[in-house]
Amino acid sequence: MTAPLKTMQKKEAIKSYGFIIPAIDIIDGKCVRLTKGDYNLKKIYNEDPLEIAMQFEDTGLKRLHLVDLDGAKAGEVKNWKVLECIAGKTNLVIDFSGGISSQKSAEITFNSGAAFASVGSIAIKDEIAFTSWLLKFGPEKFIIGADVLDEKIVIGGWTEKTPVNVFELIGQYKTKGIKQFFCTDVSKDGMLGGSAISLYKKILNEHPSIDLIASGGVSKIKDIEELREAGCEGVIIGKAIYENIISLNQLKRFC
């Protein structure tokens, strides 16, 4: 497959990637999952993230949420080679997050094959700098990752609490042209206890024009159906897949 054709296919996939967005979280180049964002509560699921990504693609899934947890903790992109490998060997439309803290790191992210850069910390800490990125790359290339605890934003790989309200953050960047937002309720992430459906309904009630992607806590097909009915544009699923609570075969109907 030629590079131009592959790029064209990825652009087409962006328009119709389906409802399910599987997640791969990376520490030391390995596929892991955390519980409640705690780096001390990590579990390694696979030494080779590419193998997992190819399984997702073989199932018919078109998009991938790839998280550089080392980068999130360090404040700079660390696992860009994992991104480059997956982007180069699959047709998955990848949104990449973790440590995107400078224009250079955003360039690395896009040059390594990400279709979207998901950011959180920089949007909170330096609005002026991030706005310059939007002007350079275009707001359509970015997703605001709103990691939330008690409706307040947490940043730095969920290690730092802020006083910023999630509804205010979305309103702030919606006016700058950003369409996609994903929201993770940290208290539910990795717990398999159900998603933060009431929070997502509240967000969509206040900001009905955004594309809201739910994340965290999904443990059964009913959770996915409820999120779609609530108006979410997608759902990120991680631990439920890795623990075989939801099979890839079950997810095919949402592709």
CA–CA dist 207, 212 (Å, integer): 9
Residue 197 to residue 187: CA distance in whole angstroms: 13
Distance between CA atoms of residues 121 and 83, nearest Å: 20
Question: Which residue of the set 68, 70, 95, 147 is catalytic?
Answer: 147
Whether 38 is catalytic is: no
Identify the burial level of 231 via C-beta atoms within 10 angstroms of its C-beta, where 0-12 means exposed, 13-18 middle and 19 or more buried: middle
Residues facing residue 97 across a β-bridge: 67, 118
Is 25 annotated as catalytic? yes
Distance of CA 188 to the CA centre of its chain: 15
Q: Which residues are catalytic?
A: 25, 147
